[in-house]
Amino acid sequence: MNEAVEEERTPYYDPARFFPARLGNVLKGRYQLATKLGYGSSSTIWLARDLNQWRWLREKYVALKINSSAHHSRENAAEAELDILRHISEANPQHEGWGFIRRPLDSFILEHGLARHLTLVFEPLREPLWIYRKRFIDDVIPSDVLKILLQMVLHGLDYLHSECRVIHTDLKPDNIMIKIEDPSILEESARDEYEHPLPQKGCSDGRTIYLSRNDFGISEKTTGIIQITDFDLSVRGDKPNRGCIQAEIYRAPEVILDAGYSYSADIWSLGVMLWDVLEGKKLFKEVDPLQVQGYDELNHLGHISALLGPPPKELLDKGTRTDLFYKSDAQFKGTTIALSDFNFENSIRNIHGEDKRMLIEFVQRMIKWHPEERSTAKELLQDPWLYAELGD
């Protein structure tokens, strides 16, 4: 197999940055690698047996996130994530949202040559929301199920924002995951990898790249418990924040304009990603880099204007990048999208009647030009749509 696979396909891949993990290895004298769960541009994720377990008890499994390490900036980013995770774990365990945030169980350093790899230990999770929705008819999570999931997400966000003073900055369906409902699923996956291993790629330098085994099949329960994950880009919200955050398609207008951002940027992302799970498509699909040649910020702002009307002058005045998109008289430099072609009403097809009307009112509390006018997670938890039992 000569073609690039898994982490080799990520941007700026360098094999020297990744720890050469091998199935069967025991790390820290405790965690034995059983299967590979996934990868990113700066880490690989593994299912491991926790050998610190009484022999007469069921085997215990954990997920290990082995961070890449090639330079101080990556090591510092991993340390910053650990600091945020520790803070989140300890801020207020009595809060209702504490259980909906993924927390570390352990951490340690792996050394390979001169490289150091910070490794984080977590409870294994089943799958992200974008995979979970494929368990339903037409790949769409039904409204009544989504309402329950959203209540959990909002409790988690309220905990992050009000108790921890943390902005996630990268909220999307990949980073909201469903918990495992039965630990025996993990044992079966580890056994299957041992008895029927997936294809492996042997590299000339002796490394082995494993294919991820991350599909645990259909859940036995319709509505699982969620956890918000991946805090490697999170920042403290009790200080001013500027710069580029969020995946392009979920990016808030104040971030595009570089007008500074706060907790309300997470609320914008949450509102936008509802289309992924309710409609099985992106709200701003016309500017999705996966669908078109490249991300177009100007076109993105044009679609936001079609939904919400022209931007407020106060927001434009705060943006350090505003002159890239608007003339001095606040006239838009791009193509204006007609409201009749793109609006809330037309973009929702899987919900109807009173349920649809209430949903639109719900998302309009999140998708607003003015960051300070967006409802907080705590306020959104009181929205009547979340508790209305309405069918078609």
The binding site for ATP consists of 65
Rounded Cα distance, 164 and 156, in Å: 11
Give the residue from 47, 8, 33, 4 showing the smallest Cα distance to 214.
Answer: 47
Rounded Cα distance, 209 and 196, in Å: 16
Q: Describe the crossing of helices 143-158 and 264-278 by its angle, rounded to 10 degrees.
A: 160
Q: Say how many CA atoms lie within 13 Å of 198 toward its Cβ.
A: 18
Contact 127, 214 (CB under 8 A): yes
Q: How deeply is 346 buried, as exposed, middle or buried, from its count of CB atoms within 10 A (0-12, 13-18, 19+)?
A: exposed
Active site residue 355: no
> Which residue type is seen at 336?
T
State the alpha helices, DSSP H only, in 8-137. 72-90, 129-132
Most distant CA pair in the chain, distance: 74
Q: Are strands 43-50 and 60-67 parallel, antiparallel or unpaired?
A: antiparallel
Name the catalytic one among 158, 170, 232, 355.
Answer: 170
Q: How far is CA 235 from CA 24, 103, 167, in A?
A: 36, 16, 5
Binding residues: 65
The catalytic residues are: 170
